[in-house]
Structure 1
Amino acid sequence: MKKRWKAALAGCLSVLMLTAAGCGGAKTQDASAYTPEKPLIIKFSHVTTADSPKGKAATRFAELMAEKTGGKVKVEVYPSSQLYGDKDEMEALQAGNVHIIAPSATKLVGFNPAFQIVDMPFLFKNHDSVIKFWDGELGKKLLGSLESKNMLGLAMWENGFKVFTANKPLAKPEDFKGLKFRTQAGKVLEAQFKALGSGAATIPFGETYTALQQGTVDGQENTWNNIDTQKYVEVQKHLLVSNHGRLDYIVLTNKKWYSELPEEFRKAFDESMAEATKYERELAVQLDKESENNLRNSGMTVVELSESEREAFVKLMEPVYSEFAETVGKEIIDGARKL
C-alpha cells in the first residue's frame, strides 16, 4: 500500500513538472512555435496619422520585422488612436494589451519628471546635440528609467524644435513682455513664459487656431510642421526661429513581454527598431524643412537669432534651470547644455 502511494505521488509530481515545463515553454515564446501562417502578433498603437513621420516609421518597423523573421512575426500598426488614445495607452502597455506605443515625452513626466528635459528652454543648441543626448549615456539612462513600471524605453523619435509665432514682431526678450501665449500644460513651460514676462494659457491643440484668430492669445510655440499644417500663417504674421524647446516621442515596449521574446525575435526587434528610428528621424527633419520653406515663402516675417541674441535668452532662463535642477536632474540639464 505504501509503495502504491509513493508511486502515485511520483506520478502526480511528474505530471505537475511536465505541466509547468509546458507553461514555461509558452511563456518564453519558443520561435519554432510560429510560422508565416500563424505568426507572433505584435500590436503597435500610436495617436498620429499613418502618413506622419511616426506613422510611416511604425509601418517601416512592421515591414522590417516581417522581413527579418521570414514572416513569423506580424506587427499590427494602429494609427490615429484606433486602438488606444493618449489617456489610456500607457495603462494598456503596462497590462500587456498592446506591445509598443510612442507617446510624447511630456506624457511620461508623471512617471519620471526628468522627461521635462524636452521643455527646458534654450537647452539644446542644435539638432546634433539632441541626437547626441538621446543616443548617449544620459538619454539611455532616461529611457531605462521606467523599467520599474514595466515599461522599457526603446528610442527617441523626433518631431522637431519649437519656434515662436505672434501677432507682433519678436526678436529679443523684451518683445515678449505683456503678451499671452498658447502652450501645453507643464510647470517648465509656465516658468519659461514667466521668465519672459509673458502670460501662458493652456489650450488644446485643436482649439489653438481659433484662439489665435479671436485674439484669446497673442502667440504660440510649435514646430515648423505644426505651424504649417495648422495654417497658423493665416492668423500669425511673425515668427522667431528660437529653437527653444522640443516636441519628441519616446517609443516604449512592455518590459516583461520584451524580455520573454525568443532570442532570434528579440534580435530582429532591436535591429528593426534601430533602422526604423533612423528612418523616422530623417523623415521628421525633411518634413520640418519643407514646412519651413512653405512658411518663409508665405509672406510670414521670419527672424533669425544670432549667437549673442540667443545667449540673451539663455541668460534670462538661468532661474528656470535652477528651479528645475532637482526635479529634472542637474546631471541631465548640465549634460545637455554641454553638448
Structure 2
Amino acid sequence: MKLNKLNAALIAGLTFSAFAANAATLRLGHNTHPDGPTGQYFEMFAQAVAEKSDGDIRVRIFPNSQLGTQREMLEQVTNGLLDMTKVDSSMLENIEPKYKALNYPYVFESTEKMHEVVSGELGQELLESTEKRGFIGLGYIMMTPRGYYSPKPINGPEDLKGMKLRVQESNTMIRLVENIGGIPTPTPYGEVFSALQQGMVDGVEGAGPSLYTARHGEIAKYFFEDNHVQMANVIAISNRAWNRLSEDQQAIVREAAVDAMNYSYTTGWDMEMALQQKAVDQMGVTIVQPTEEQRQQMIQSIQPMYQDLEKNEPEVYEFLNQIKLAQQ
C-alpha cells in the first residue's frame, strides 16, 4: 500500500508537470474527507488562489490520503515530490522542537488568545523555522480543543488511569498521557476506528468533531472534554514549489492561506462544533466537562513535563514562555 501511494504521488507529479510549465500548478494532498471542515478549508484556499491569480495558479487537491498517510505526504513535500500538504503541529514537533509550544497542555488561555499568537510574529517564526528541512508553513488551520473519548464512561481524571489511549505520533502527547496515568498508544488517524472496534485501544486523545466525521462515536459514547490542548494544522509547501513561484505568486498563495486560517477560526469553528453536536444528537455521545477541581488536578499532573522541558530543552521552554507572555 505504501508503494502504491508513493507511485500515485509520482504519477500525479508527472501528470501535472506539463501544465505547470505554462501556469503554476500546486498539488496538495491531505488525509481528511473533502466534505469535512478541513476539506472545505482547502477547497476555499484553492478557489481563493485561482481568483486572486486570475487563473495563473491552480491548486489540485488529493483528499482522503490518496497520496499516503500524513507522515508519508510530509516526507514527499520535504523531498519536493509533492507541493503541499497539511500536517498536525504534533507531528511537526519531531522536525522543529519549537512546535512543542503549540502542543503542550494548558499553554493557551483561550481559543482567541491562540489565534492572536499564531497570527503574530511568534506564529510566523514557527512557520519559517522548517525552511532548512525542505518546506515552510503558510498558515494555520485552527482546530477545536481536545479531550478523551472512549466506549467506557469517563467522568474524571481517575477514569483515565490505566487506559490504553490512542495518541498522535508525538512525544509530547505520549508524555501527556503517561503523566495523567494512561498508556499511550500511537496510532495513525485512519486506523483509529478499527483500533477502537477491535479493542486495541480503550480510548482516544482527540477532538470532538472526529466522533462524527470519522464515525468514532459509533463506538466511543463518552467524551471527557477537558480542553487540555488546542492544536493547529499547518499548511505546508515544499521549498521547491515555493521557489518556482514568482514573488507576486508567493504573495497570492500566502494571502489565500491566511484567509483559510481566518475562516477556520470563524465559520470553520462553528462547523466543527456543529459536527461535535451531531455526535451527541445522532450517535448518543455523552459529553462530560471537568469540574474546576478536576481541571486543576490534571494541570498539576503534567507539571513534570514543564520541568523536564526547562531542564532539557531550554530554548523551547523559553519560546513557550514567550507565547504565554504574548497572551498578557
TM-score range relative to shorter protein: 0.7 to 0.9
Query: Cα–Cα, structure 1 residues 317 and 270, in superposed 2: closer, same or farther, change >3 Å?
Result: same
CA distance in 1 between partners of 2:194 and 2:72 (Å): 28
Give the aligned residue type for 1:309. Answer: Q
Of residues 4, 15, 24 in structure 2, which corresponds to 1:40? 24
Q: Does 2:318 match 1:334?
A: no
Residue 151 of structure 1: aligned partner: 135
Residue 261 of structure 1: aligned partner: 245
Q: Would you say the 8 A contact 2:89–2:103 is kept in 1? A: no
CA distance in 1 between partners of 2:238 and 2:181 (Å): 42
Residue 52 of structure 1: aligned partner: 36
For structure 1, list consecutive stretches of 5 or more residues without a partner in the other structure.
Answer: 1-34
CA distance in 2 between partners of 1:231 and 1:94 (Å): 31
CA distance in 2 between partners of 1:51 and 1:251 (Å): 18
CA distance in 2 between partners of 1:207 and 1:90 (Å): 18
Which of structures 1 and 2 has the bigger CA Rg? 1
Equivalent runs, 1:49-128 vs 2, <5 Å: 49-83=33-67, 85-128=69-112
Aligned length: 305
CA distance in 1 between partners of 2:85 and 2:192 (Å): 26
Q: Would you say the 8 A contact 1:129–1:336 is kept in 2? A: no
Give the aligned residue type for 1:212. Answer: L
Q: Would you say the 8 A contact 2:26–2:57 is kept in 1? A: yes
TM-fit CA distance, 1:210 = 4.0
Residue 241 of structure 1: aligned partner: 225
TM-fit CA distance, 1:143 = 1.2
Of residues 171, 179, 192 in structure 1, which corresponds to 2:163? 179
TM-fit CA distance, 1:153 = 1.4
Query: Cα–Cα, structure 1 residues 69 and 214, in superposed 2: closer, same or farther, change >3 Å?
Result: closer
CA distance in 2 between partners of 1:164 and 1:37 (Å): 48
Residue 23 of structure 1: aligned partner: none
Q: C-alpha offsets along residues 155-197 of structure 1, whole Å, 9 cap, x if unaligned?
A: 1113322111234443433332233322223322222222212
CA distance in 1 between partners of 2:190 and 2:58 (Å): 34
Query: Cα–Cα, structure 1 residues 219 and 262, in superposed 2: closer, same or farther, change >3 Å?
Result: closer
Of residues 282, 294, 298 in structure 2, which corresponds to 1:309? 294
After TM superposition, the score normalised by the length of structure 2 is 0.80
Fraction of identical pairs, as percent: 24
Q: Would you say the 8 A contact 2:135–2:238 is kept in 1? A: yes
Of residues 205, 208, 214 in structure 2, which corresponds to 1:230? 214
Q: Would you say the 8 A contact 2:139–2:254 is kept in 1? A: no
CA distance in 2 between partners of 1:329 and 1:288 (Å): 30
Q: Would you say the 8 A contact 2:26–2:241 is kept in 1? A: no
Q: Would you say the 8 A contact 1:124–1:244 is kept in 2? A: no
Q: C-alpha offsets along residues 6-32 of structure 1, whole Å, 9 cap, x if unaligned?
A: xxxxxxxxxxxxxxxxxxxxxxxxxxx
CA distance in 2 between partners of 1:190 and 1:169 (Å): 22
Of residues 193, 196, 209 in structure 1, which corresponds to 2:177? 193
After TM superposition, the score normalised by the length of structure 1 is 0.78
Tell me the SS of whatever aligns to 1:236. Answer: coil
CA distance in 2 between partners of 1:232 and 1:149 (Å): 34
Q: C-alpha offsets along residues 254-307 of structure 1, whole Å, 9 cap, x if unaligned?
A: 335434533332332232222222223435412321122223334433222344
TM-fit CA distance, 1:47 = 2.6
For structure 2, list consecutive stretches of 5 or more residues without a partner in the other structure.
Answer: 1-18
TM-fit CA distance, 1:55 = 2.3
CA distance in 1 between partners of 2:34 and 2:226 (Å): 29
TM-fit CA distance, 1:37 = 11
Give the aligned residue type for 1:57. Answer: Y
RMSD: 2.9
Tell me the SS of whatever aligns to 2:205. Answer: strand
Q: Would you say the 8 A contact 1:36–1:71 is kept in 2? A: no
TM-fit CA distance, 1:145 = 0.7
Q: Would you say the 8 A contact 2:135–2:236 is kept in 1? A: yes
CA distance in 1 between partners of 2:320 and 2:304 (Å): 13
Tell me the SS of whatever aligns to 2:316. Answer: helix
CA distance in 2 between partners of 1:52 and 1:331 (Å): 36
Residue 29 of structure 1: aligned partner: none
Give the aligned residue type for 2:289. Answer: E
Bigger drift between 227-236 and 189-198 goes to 227-236
